Amino acid sequence: MAVEEKRAWSMLVIAVGSYAAYLWVVLGRPAAVPLTRAPYVEALLWAVGLSIAVSIAAHIVIAAFSPREANIKDQRDREIHRFGEYVGQSLVVIGAVAGLVLAMAGAAPFWIANAIYLAFVLSSVLGSAVKVISYRFGFHPW
Protein backbone atom coordinates (compact mmCIF):
# COMPACT_ATOMS: atom_id res chain seq x y z
CA MET A 1 0.00 0.00 0.00
CA ALA A 2 1.38 3.41 -0.97
CA VAL A 3 2.20 5.92 1.76
CA GLU A 4 -0.24 8.41 0.28
CA GLU A 5 -2.99 5.78 0.37
CA LYS A 6 -2.25 5.15 4.04
CA ARG A 7 -2.50 8.87 4.69
CA ALA A 8 -5.84 9.00 2.86
CA TRP A 9 -7.15 6.11 4.97
CA SER A 10 -5.99 7.84 8.15
CA MET A 11 -7.72 11.09 7.16
CA LEU A 12 -10.91 9.19 6.38
CA VAL A 13 -10.94 7.42 9.74
CA ILE A 14 -9.98 10.54 11.69
CA ALA A 15 -12.65 12.71 10.03
CA VAL A 16 -15.42 10.18 10.62
CA GLY A 17 -14.26 9.42 14.15
CA SER A 18 -13.94 13.04 15.25
CA TYR A 19 -17.34 13.96 13.83
CA ALA A 20 -18.96 10.95 15.47
CA ALA A 21 -17.42 11.93 18.81
CA TYR A 22 -18.62 15.52 18.34
CA LEU A 23 -22.16 14.34 17.60
CA TRP A 24 -22.09 12.02 20.59
CA VAL A 25 -21.15 14.91 22.90
CA VAL A 26 -23.61 17.42 21.44
CA LEU A 27 -26.54 15.03 21.11
CA GLY A 28 -25.86 13.66 24.60
CA ARG A 29 -27.23 16.83 26.15
CA PRO A 30 -29.98 16.70 28.78
CA ALA A 31 -33.42 16.14 27.26
CA ALA A 32 -34.73 19.42 28.66
CA VAL A 33 -32.15 21.47 26.71
CA PRO A 34 -33.16 22.34 23.12
CA LEU A 35 -30.62 21.39 20.46
CA THR A 36 -29.91 25.01 19.52
CA ARG A 37 -29.01 25.74 23.14
CA ALA A 38 -26.72 22.72 23.49
CA PRO A 39 -23.16 23.61 24.52
CA TYR A 40 -21.56 22.91 21.16
CA VAL A 41 -18.75 25.49 20.93
CA GLU A 42 -16.33 23.76 23.27
CA ALA A 43 -17.06 20.35 21.75
CA LEU A 44 -16.58 21.75 18.24
CA LEU A 45 -13.24 23.35 19.13
CA TRP A 46 -12.04 20.15 20.80
CA ALA A 47 -13.14 18.01 17.86
CA VAL A 48 -11.37 20.21 15.33
CA GLY A 49 -8.23 20.64 17.44
CA LEU A 50 -7.90 16.97 18.28
CA SER A 51 -8.55 15.86 14.70
CA ILE A 52 -5.76 18.18 13.50
CA ALA A 53 -3.37 16.91 16.18
CA VAL A 54 -4.22 13.25 15.57
CA SER A 55 -3.89 13.76 11.81
CA ILE A 56 -0.42 15.25 12.19
CA ALA A 57 0.62 12.44 14.53
CA ALA A 58 -0.75 9.81 12.14
CA HIS A 59 1.15 11.31 9.20
CA ILE A 60 4.34 11.31 11.26
CA VAL A 61 3.87 7.68 12.31
CA ILE A 62 3.07 6.61 8.74
CA ALA A 63 6.18 8.36 7.43
CA ALA A 64 8.37 6.97 10.23
CA PHE A 65 7.35 3.37 9.64
CA SER A 66 7.57 3.50 5.86
CA PRO A 67 10.72 2.76 3.90
CA ARG A 68 12.61 5.90 2.89
CA GLU A 69 11.96 5.38 -0.81
CA ALA A 70 8.22 4.96 -0.15
CA ASN A 71 8.00 8.62 0.92
CA ILE A 72 8.87 9.82 -2.58
CA LYS A 73 5.83 10.96 -4.54
CA ASP A 74 5.66 10.14 -8.22
CA GLN A 75 3.45 11.77 -10.86
CA ARG A 76 0.56 9.40 -10.17
CA ASP A 77 0.61 10.22 -6.44
CA ARG A 78 0.57 13.94 -7.17
CA GLU A 79 -2.32 13.61 -9.61
CA ILE A 80 -4.37 11.46 -7.24
CA HIS A 81 -3.75 13.91 -4.40
CA ARG A 82 -4.71 16.89 -6.56
CA PHE A 83 -7.84 15.19 -7.88
CA GLY A 84 -8.97 14.15 -4.39
CA GLU A 85 -8.42 17.67 -3.08
CA TYR A 86 -10.36 19.23 -5.96
CA VAL A 87 -13.30 16.91 -5.44
CA GLY A 88 -13.29 17.43 -1.68
CA GLN A 89 -13.05 21.22 -1.93
CA SER A 90 -16.37 21.38 -3.73
CA LEU A 91 -18.08 20.55 -0.44
CA VAL A 92 -16.26 23.37 1.34
CA VAL A 93 -17.80 25.79 -1.15
CA ILE A 94 -21.24 24.22 -0.64
CA GLY A 95 -20.79 24.54 3.15
CA ALA A 96 -19.78 28.18 2.86
CA VAL A 97 -22.84 28.92 0.75
CA ALA A 98 -25.03 27.02 3.21
CA GLY A 99 -23.56 29.04 6.08
CA LEU A 100 -24.25 32.28 4.22
CA VAL A 101 -27.82 31.27 3.43
CA LEU A 102 -28.44 30.24 7.04
CA ALA A 103 -26.98 33.53 8.29
CA MET A 104 -29.13 35.55 5.89
CA ALA A 105 -32.19 33.57 6.97
CA GLY A 106 -31.47 34.46 10.59
CA ALA A 107 -30.75 30.91 11.73
CA ALA A 108 -29.26 30.26 15.14
CA PRO A 109 -25.44 30.25 15.30
CA PHE A 110 -25.67 26.55 16.21
CA TRP A 111 -27.01 25.66 12.77
CA ILE A 112 -24.56 27.90 10.92
CA ALA A 113 -21.54 26.47 12.75
CA ASN A 114 -22.73 22.90 12.33
CA ALA A 115 -23.45 23.32 8.62
CA ILE A 116 -19.93 24.65 8.04
CA TYR A 117 -18.32 21.96 10.22
CA LEU A 118 -20.29 19.23 8.45
CA ALA A 119 -19.10 20.61 5.11
CA PHE A 120 -15.47 20.42 6.25
CA VAL A 121 -15.94 16.86 7.48
CA LEU A 122 -17.70 15.77 4.28
CA SER A 123 -14.96 17.47 2.25
CA SER A 124 -12.30 15.46 4.06
CA VAL A 125 -14.28 12.23 3.79
CA LEU A 126 -15.07 12.68 0.10
CA GLY A 127 -11.53 13.75 -0.79
CA SER A 128 -10.01 10.84 1.12
CA ALA A 129 -12.50 8.37 -0.36
CA VAL A 130 -11.67 9.55 -3.88
CA LYS A 131 -7.97 9.07 -3.16
CA VAL A 132 -8.48 5.58 -1.74
CA ILE A 133 -10.70 4.58 -4.66
CA SER A 134 -8.15 5.98 -7.11
CA TYR A 135 -5.37 3.95 -5.51
CA ARG A 136 -7.46 0.78 -5.27
CA PHE A 137 -9.21 0.78 -8.64
CA GLY A 138 -6.90 2.89 -10.76
CA PHE A 139 -6.77 6.56 -11.52
CA HIS A 140 -8.45 7.57 -14.74
CA PRO A 141 -8.63 11.35 -15.06
CA TRP A 142 -11.30 12.55 -17.41
Q: Residues 106-142, buried b or exposed e (16+ Cβ, 10 A)?
A: eeeebbbebbbbbbbbbbbbbbbbbbbebbeeebeee
Q: Does residue 39 come out as left (phi exceeding 0), alpha (psi in the -120 to 50 range) or beta? A: beta
Q: Which residues contact 88 (CB under 8 A, 6 or more apart)?
A: 123, 124, 126, 127, 128, 130
Could you list the pLDDT tens digit for every one of the 142 residues in the chain?
A: 778 888 889 999 999 999 999 999 998 877 777 887 888 899 999 999 999 999 999 999 988 888 776 666 777 778 888 888 888 888 899 999 999 999 999 999 999 999 999 999 999 999 999 888 888 887 766 5
For residue 124, give the nearest of 42, 18, 3 by alpha carbon.
18
What's this model's pTM, rounded to 2 decimal places?
A: 0.84
